[in-house]
Amino acid sequence: MADPVLDLRGLSKSFGALKATDDVTLTLQRGEIHALIGPNGAGKSTLMGLVSGKIAPDAGQVWLDGADITALSVARRAKAGLGRSFQVSSLIPDYSALRNVMLALQGRQGHSYRFLRSVNRDTALREGARAALTRVGLSPRASVEAAMLSHGERRLLEIAVALAMGPKCFLLDEPMAGLGSEGTTRLVTFLNALKHEAPILLIEHDMDAVFRLADRISVLVYGRIIATGAPADIRANPQVRAAYLGE
Ligand code: ADP
Ligand code: MG
């Protein structure tokens, strides 16, 4: 197989006596959506934290595009090409959609007004931000404050913020949460196009969306990956059905 974009090698993390992540190894290959599923408390968020850099592992490494990024901070990992949308919004509510993307492009989400004025003057930043908004279909809403956008639009704006950084891959934590069926369908279509630009590691509770979207699925139970495979294989896997799908 070609070199993976993201390569998680033997990651472990304990909280006291609890092994939240237990020797997890998985890859994210070019062009794919790799979904991570598992029951509540299985360790999905912890694993995402280990990848994004929010949590330091007890053992194991995170490799991005052939480089070991395990020792890098969250901000350095983002600069290295790890694009992330958060389960909890990182948007600045009283800034317009455009300004939110411009600030991300600037690589620092500062709040100082003087900083903001200097950002406003930067045409290249503005053009880059507009391009990202166009990609997610939000350019008509560029001047609307983040707080005034619909829930679905805010999810798209978060992806535009990540997209503007030109990431090598995306970590998406429940992007479908709170979207109606129309919003979910739009996002599924968009992610299917986006994955060709940068592959996507996806945590998602909406199983219909996962099975429609994912090229591969890994099933996490008690911090361990019990199966990785194509959706059809995962659906048919007796161990998965017993441990997770409740059969
Ligand atoms: P998931 O996202 O799959 O629901 P989590 O990664 O949030 O699972 O949690 C995995 C396990 O680790 C759970 O048992 C949770 O209670 C525990 N856990 C997560 N974060 C912490 C923490 N900061 N301190 C102690 N226990 C934690
Ligand atoms: Mg979680």
ipTM of the assembly?
0.98
**Structure confidence at residue 112 as a pLDDT band (50, 70, 90):** very low
State the average pLDDT over residues 190-205: 92
- CATH of segment(s) 1-81+169-247: 3.40.50.300
Q: Is the model's pLDDT at 110 over the cut of 50?
A: no
Pick the range with the lowest mean pLDDT from 96-100, 156-160, 211-215: 156-160
Handedness of CA 205, 208, 209, 213 (dihedral sign): positive
Q: Is the pLDDT of residue 193 over 70?
A: yes
* CA of 21 relative to ligand 2 center, distance in Å: 13
DSSP secondary structure string for all residues of 102-160: HHHHHT-----HHHHHHHHT-HHHHHHHHHHHHHTT-GGGTTSBGGGS-HHHHHHHHHH
Q: CB of 129 within 8 A of CB of 101? A: yes
Pocket probe for ligand 1: among 15, 19, 50, the residue whose CB has the most ligand atoms within 8 Å is 15
Is a pLDDT exceeding 70 seen at residue 227?
A: yes
Question: What predicted TM-score, i.e. pTM, was given to this entire model?
Answer: 0.87
Distance, CA 20 to ligand 1 centroid (Å)? Answer: 6
How much is the pLDDT for 111? 42
**Residue 6 pLDDT > 80:** yes
Q: Is 115 in the pocket of ligand 1 (CB under 6 A)?
A: no
Q: Give me ligand 2 centre to Cα 26, in Å.
A: 18
Q: Is 107 in the pocket of ligand 1 (CB under 6 A)?
A: no
34 in Cβ contact with 19 (< 8 Å): no
Q: Provide the pLDDT for residue 62.
A: 98
Residue 191 CB-density burial (10 A; 0-12 exposed, 13-18 middle, 19+ buried): buried
Tell which atom from ligand 1 comes closest to the C-alpha of 40: 4
> Is any atom of ligand 1 closer than 6 Å to the C-beta of 56?
no
| Closest CA to ligand 1's atom 26 | 15
**Mean of the per-residue pLDDT values of the chain:** 88
Residue 63: other Cβ atoms inside 10 A: 17
Q: What is the pLDDT of residue 108?
A: 46
Query: CATH 3.40.50.300 residue ranges in the chain?
Result: 1-81+169-247
pLDDT attached to residue 48 = 93
Reported confidence tier of residue 185, pLDDT bands at 50, 70, 90: confident
